[in-house]
A and B are shown apart, each in its own frame.
Chain A
């Protein structure tokens, strides 16, 4: 097949893990892999991308690209598409990738497929496996013959694999950046809190944790596992924690290696958001809670009694 161009996202000079995963998946699909990297002062980041499988790295280094803008970054990606002439264009399905991919696709006059969790190549066509109805069903879809095939890949689903390689750097110049919606500032959450969308381990609390103060216990377990804190809609709607933590059909859809649901009964909307997690653990007092039906491991018991010794046992590992 012809090549795959991968949009690479960096923040503060670090390539996002989800972009490494997208590059690695492009490499596994065969053919040539190129990368496009917009930013400011990013030459070190760019030269490191060969180690993730990029044969050619298109770099747009410009002070106006220091912070993300859909319009500016789209300009860069379209320029790289003109040069690389790829048959597919991959984005990591981060907030940035999910925002940029459709803007770029529309500019190229093609559609886009979001949130791939599996890719099968038939000839030059990617058949994309993607969850719909928040994971209550899975669709196999393609771009109906339109090229390039613009696809965003769900983070933490595809493995990142370093390879031996050094890509060739190509500077993209002659950009005419026209940016109307301007990011003035990037405000990071205090303490650099890990986001559920990116975490490999998530510990979520629901109504059963009884009050906002008890998210401290959930956080203790999450910290012991190096994971993020999630929440059910009930906990968010009660005002115990911000919506950015919500997992479920009207929150984030996640697929970490380990998902621990504490005091969450398992409404269909919550199950929809986390049922594709690799290992699911439920801790709940009610042995009939629906969450146990999809749990790989369940503890029937009071989370306030079960979690503290869990934290100790994990720390002792």
Chain B
């Protein structure tokens, strides 16, 4: 059973975000690039499926040069093949263009399941998996926290507000993976050494018929930091917690008017 994992290289979640000089993107100096955390669940699931059922895991990423480190990380964890579509800076956050690029890479390959993270941490759109499924004319299940693979079908549980939807779908299909699905492994030293030698298939985005300068479907006009908050009211409650609690409730009722 062959799996394709779509992976995005994103700023480490501990990064302090600063606005870049053009006012439309972040200042990338000092940013550490990692595998988007939800894509780690996608990779782990794909590795477990192929370990159980045979087949190969191919990781596809669309991003600039920095994405190679994240791709090597995926190879180190056990992915068999890696495809790097070079580009993606002009189309950051443009889910539909990203989905078209990924579909261009995936469409002629042999696969049973395509796995994405439920969103890319950073642009936070959570749309690529569904769009990819539509372009490839495949069924999809998003936000998957439980998965059982049959030979020609899958059964998945997906998180919704206050419950779970139990979904069944024929293969091939696209799923987007949510925390809770599995515990991603770390790369072992042996894997890291081996990954350095594994080939990465580099593709120019233009060769997929995508013109990154055409304007796309998502235009960023401005990027800004959230407004600074004024200092709050601090109540000392170490000695007399009951009085502090009463004062807090009074403030929430009378000043903030939220209870």
Contacts and interface: CB of A to CB of B under 8 A. Distances in A.
Contact of A112 (B15, B127, B143, B249): B127
B198 to A, nearest CB: 28
A94 B256 CA distance: 27
The prevalent SS among residues of B at the interface is mixed
A310 B232 contact: no
B123 A132 contact: yes
Nearest to A226: B259
B248 interface: yes
A98 interface: yes
B163 to A, nearest CB: 4
Contact of A133 (B122, B138, B157): B122
Interface string B163-205: 1111111100100001110000000000000000000000000
B148 interface: no
B123 to A, nearest CB: 6
A75 B45 CA distance: 30
Given A105-B131, A306-B237, A134 B96 contact: no
Contacts of B219: 141-144
Contacts, number: 285
A139 B131 contact: no
Contact of B226 (A138, A194, A242, A279): A138
Nearest to A193: B162
B108 interface: no
A99 B245 contact: no
Given A281-B248, A300-B234, A136 B17 contact: yes
B216 to A, nearest CB: 6
Contacts of B236: 300-301
Interface string B142-155: 11010000000000
Interface string A187-216: 111001111011001000000000000000
Most central of B160, B233, B246 by chain A CB within 10 Å:
B160
A24 interface: no
The prevalent SS among residues of A at the interface is mixed
Nearest to B24: A139
A95 interface: yes
Contact of B248 (A113, A201, A297): A297
Contacts of B142: 70, 98-99
A41 interface: no
Contact of B237 (A74, A96, A299): A299
A71 B121 contact: no
B37 to A, nearest CB: 5
B69 interface: no
Contacts of B143: 95, 99
Contact of B165 (A140, A183, A299, A300): A183
A219 to B, nearest CB: 15
Nearest to B155: A184
Contacts of B179: 243, 246, 250-251
Contact of B127 (A114, A180, A269): A114
7 smallest beta-carbon distances between A and B, as pairs:
A111-B217, A301-B237, A305-B241, A102-B127, A106-B134, A180-B139, A181-B139
Given A95-B160, A187-B166, A257-B258, 18 more contacts: A101-B127, A102-B129, A131-B124, A132-B123, A136-B225, A136-B226, A137-B225, A141-B219, A181-B140, A184-B167, A187-B165, A244-B180, A258-B252, A258-B259, A279-B256, A297-B234, A306-B237, A310-B245
Interface of A: 67-68, 70-71, 74, 94-96, 98-103, 105-107, 110-115, 127, 131-146, 180-189, 192-195, 197-198, 201, 225, 242-244, 246, 249-251, 253, 257-258, 268-269, 272, 275-276, 278-281, 283, 285, 287, 292, 294-302, 305-310, 313-314, 317
Interface of B: 11, 13-17, 19, 26, 37-38, 93-97, 99, 121-131, 133-135, 138-143, 145, 157-170, 173, 178-180, 215-226, 229, 232-238, 241-242, 244-246, 248-253, 256, 258-259
